[in-house]
Chains A and B, each alone.
Chain A
Amino acid sequence: MKILAIDTSNIALSVAVLDSERLLAMQTTNIKRNHSKQLMPIISQTVEEAGIKLADLDRIVVAEGPGSYTGLRIAVTTAKTLALTLGIELVGISSLEMLVPNATQDGLVVPFFDARNGNVFAGIYEKNGLEIKKVVEDQHINFLELLNKINELGRPVYFVTTQFKDFQQLVEDTLIVVAEHSSDLNSLPNAYALGLLGMNRQELENVYTFVPAYLRVTEAERNWKEKHPNDENKESYVRQIN
């Protein structure tokens, strides 16, 4: 199975081409560049370096979120369009879950991204060798609340993040369980891991309706729902005219 894996959820951008478990080519950048400019050229270079043709691909795996809304939309739109026009399968994988294999030890793994104002996007996973199980759903959560959840679980944890320094003090002050965290060497997302995770998952039944996992409704919609708790006719928000 030939797989193209794509992640642009945060500042890093990672694209890989796999032949089943084997990595053929991968490119990862971690500079504040423009994902919209970079993604397609890097996809085309990586496919070329892998020595395959686009038509050889069987499946696309995309990191579906959470993360930067714009970044997610670039990857998901690209992945959806490619999968549909090439007539191949598409799989969406959590942008947090794809970081779990980065952990250098088994047990509870907590990947997280800064979401500003003391909040993070985070999930809690159980890693056992190559097996990953979800313990707490990915969510947008206050960091202290997350630490309390971890304390309740009462077991050592391993954080995977590029932003540990910003949260280190809070971790030291609040956490009562033993905590390790990823180093520069293993905190970045890598699309090889993403491809491996996506290889054995069920493909999306409906690619057309696939959207990023934002994990947050927009502020405008949140305010509107507060004022209109019973008004829900989402289907008619967008309609075709001619």
Chain B
Amino acid sequence: MDQNSLILAIESSCDETSVAVVKNGDIILSNIIATQINSHQRFGGVVPEVASRHHIEQITICIDQSLKQADVDKKDLDAVAVTYGPGLVGALLVGVSAAKAFAYANNLPLIPVNHMIGHIYAARFVKPIVFPSLALLVSGGHTELVYMPSENEFKIIGETRDDAAGEAYDKVGRVMGLKYPAGKAIDELAHEGQDTFHFPRAMEHEDNFDFSFSGLKSAFINTVHHADQINEELSKADLAASFQQSVVDVIVDKTVRACEQLDIKQLILAGGVAANRGLRDALDAKISEKLDDLDFVKAPLKLCGDNGAMIGAAGEMLMRHDQFADMTLNADPSLEFDWEPEAVK
């Protein structure tokens, strides 16, 4: 099995339709991404039925373009990998239906991929993942620390008890009158301001690896509403900087503590919010200060958002573990890793 492998990978769990061709799990031959952001901006967030409708407009275009751009004939493929959860059920079903039909028609094995494994495995495009390893996954739907004792083992040792970090960014962004999705704009504003508001750092000193962002969100909203009532103009840059600093402090603190307690070789930062400059820089600084010999790998900026290439990278690993699905594969919108906080002890 030392031969080259070619995987066609399909992702449609939220508001991006993406199809990639990945060679040997870590070489991207193509990665077509059709994003629906402009559509959902109209509604201030992703509308599931609208998302599903866009996916079906895009899916076969993306498949063909990705094969063409990779200059790969479907006869040369070794497998089809597809995200089957977690995500929006209607959106997932478009990718799953297309993947099954394509695999059946071309006599290819089908690999079901957990979207979150995909996010983690985006790090493979930087360097090989070494085990045991810890992944910090931050996105619009997830904020979790995933411990990986070996290649195909995933245990959640801490996660958000309420909002995901990305969700908090979007809600706060709405209050500030920023366009959806607000993460990038807040990150940029934050770099022009100072942490003058000192919002709460929830659960920072608790003896666990869980997060909470709803208290921060409420404190932020109260501050803005109070200022509105007394007609006081607050600095948007300072608001953004204060909010971001609070999010980053909690995430960095807990992550570094988990790294100290676990015997790991590598820390991986992945997920949509992993593109946040404030978070990347703060983790970089803290790791080199406290855990200088830990290998810190950040998913490439372009591959932090949802994309097919990361599904191909994960798919190649799953293929080596014989994780195939048959033609009854269904979408699993609430697919999750096992919750095992005791893995730390």
CA distance A16 to B290 in the complex (A): 65
Interface hit among A78-86, A115-123, A159-167, A181-189: A78-86
Among A73, A80, A236, A240, the residue within 8 A (CB) of B52 is A73
Instruction: Answer whether residue A174 sits at the interface, using C-beta atoms and an 8 A cutoff.
Output: no
In the complex, whether A76 has a CB less than 8 A from a CB of chain B is: yes
Q: Which listed residue (A80, A86, A224, A236) contacts B43, Cβ 8 A?
A: A224
Binds A, one of B98-106, B132-140, B182-190: B98-106
The reply to whether A86 and B105 contact each other, CB–CB distance below 8 Å, is yes
> Given that A237-B54, A238-B39, A238-B58 are known contacts, is A41 also in contact with B101, CB under 8 Å in the complex?
no
Query: Nearest Cβ distance between residue A79 and chain B, in whole angstroms?
Result: 8
Q: Which B264-319 residues have a C-beta within 8 angstroms of A?
A: 302
Residue among A40, A54, A79, A236 making CB contact with B100, cutoff 8 Å: A40
In the bound complex, how far is the Cα of B36 from the Cα of A182, in angstroms? Answer: 43
* C-alpha spacing A84/B63, complex, angstroms: 10
Contacts of A78 in B (CB 8 A): 97-98, 100-101
Docked pose: A237 CA to B38 CA in angstroms = 5
B61 at the binding interface (Cβ < 8 Å):
yes
How many CB-defined contacts (below 8 Å) exist between A and B? 130
Residue interface mask B38-52, A partner, CB < 8 A = 1: 110011000101101
Q: Which of B47, B63, B302, B329 contacts A81 (CB 8 A)?
A: B63
Contact, CB under 8 Å: B56 / A211:
yes
Q: Decide if B54 touches A238 in the complex (CB within 8 Å).
A: yes
Cβ of A32 under 8 Å from chain B: no
Report yes or no: B93 in contact with A70, Cβ–Cβ below 8 A: yes
Chain B 15-44 interface residues, beta-carbon cutoff 8 Å to A: 17, 31-36, 38-39, 42-43
How far, in whole Å, are A39 and B327 apart by their CA atoms in the complex? 9
Judge whether B157 is part of the interface by a CB distance below 8 angstroms.
Answer: no
Residue of A nearest to B15 (CB): A238
- When distances are taken between beta carbons in the complex, the residues of chain B under 8 Å from A221 are 42, 50
Stretch at the interface among A98-106, A138-146, A212-220: A212-220
Q: How far is the CB of B312 from chain A (nearest CB, A)?
A: 15
Which residues on the A side are within 8 Å of B64 (C-beta)?
84, 208
Question: Is B59 in the interface zone, CB < 8 Å from A?
Answer: yes
A40 x B327 contact (CB < 8 A): yes
Interface string of B83-95 (1 = CB under 8 A from A): 0000001100110
B4 touches A (CB below 8 Å):
no
B198: Cβ under 8 A from any A Cβ: no
A224 to B44: give the CA distance in the assembly, Å.
11
- A90 to chain B minimum Cβ distance, whole angstroms, is 10
Pick the residue among A81, A209, A228 that contacts B98 (CB under 8 A): A81
| Interface residues of chain B: helix, strand, loop or mixed (majority) | helix
Kindly identify which residue among B47, B59, B94 contacts A218, using a CB–CB cutoff of 8 Å.
Answer: B47
Chain B residues whose CB sits within 8 angstroms of the CB of A40 once the complex forms? 100-101, 104, 327-328
Instruction: Kindly list chain B residues whose C-beta atoms are within 8 Å of the C-beta of A38.
Output: 328
Is the CB of B160 closer than 8 A to any CB of chain A? no
A78–B53 alpha-carbon span in the complex (Å): 15
* Distance in angstroms between the alpha carbons of A13 and B106 in the assembled complex: 24
Complex contact A81–B102 (CB within 8 A): yes
* Smallest Cβ-Cβ distance to B47: which chain A residue: A220
Distance, CA A37 to CA B39, complexed state (A): 30
Most buried by A among B64, B100, B329: B100
Contact call B327/A82, Cβ cutoff below 8 A: no
Which one, A54, A77, A239, A242, contacts B56 given CB within 8 A? A77
Q: Is A36 an interface residue (CB 8 A)?
A: yes
A241 within 8 A of B: yes
Residues of A within 8 A of B330 (CB): 34, 36-37
Known contacts A218-B53, A237-B38, A240-B34; decide if A85 and B327 are in contact (CB<8 Å): no
* Cβ 8 A contact of A73, one of B56, B58, B102: B56
Q: Is B148 positioned at the interface, with any CB of A under 8 Å from its CB?
A: no
Which residue of B32, B53, B90, B102 is within 8 Å of A85 (Cβ)? B102
A76 contact set on B, CB distance < 8 A: 56
Known contacts A82-B105, A224-B42, A241-B35; is A73 also within 8 Å of B57 by CB? no
Q: Are B56 and A212 in contact (CB under 8 A)?
A: yes
* Given A78-B101, A82-B101, A241-B35; A41-B54 close (CB under 8 Å): no
If A84-B63, A220-B43, A220-B49 are given as contacts, then 17 extra A-B residue pairs at C-beta distance below 8 Å, sorted by A number, are: A36-B93, A36-B97, A37-B328, A38-B328, A41-B327, A44-B104, A44-B327, A70-B89, A77-B97, A80-B98, A84-B64, A207-B60, A209-B57, A212-B56, A237-B39, A238-B35, A240-B33
Q: Which 7 A-B pairs have the closest CB atoms?
A: A237-B39, A81-B101, A40-B327, A77-B97, A220-B47, A81-B98, A37-B328
7 pairs across A/B with beta carbons < 8 Å?
A: A77-B94, A82-B104, A218-B50, A237-B38, A241-B33, A241-B34, A241-B35
Tell me the B residues contacting A by CB distance below 8 Å: 17, 31-36, 38-39, 42-43, 47, 49-50, 52-54, 56-61, 63-64, 74, 89-90, 93-94, 96-98, 100-102, 104-106, 302, 326-331
Q: Which residues of A contact B (CB under 8 A)?
A: 34, 36-41, 43-44, 54, 69-70, 73-74, 76-82, 84-86, 207-209, 211-212, 214, 218-221, 224, 228, 236-242
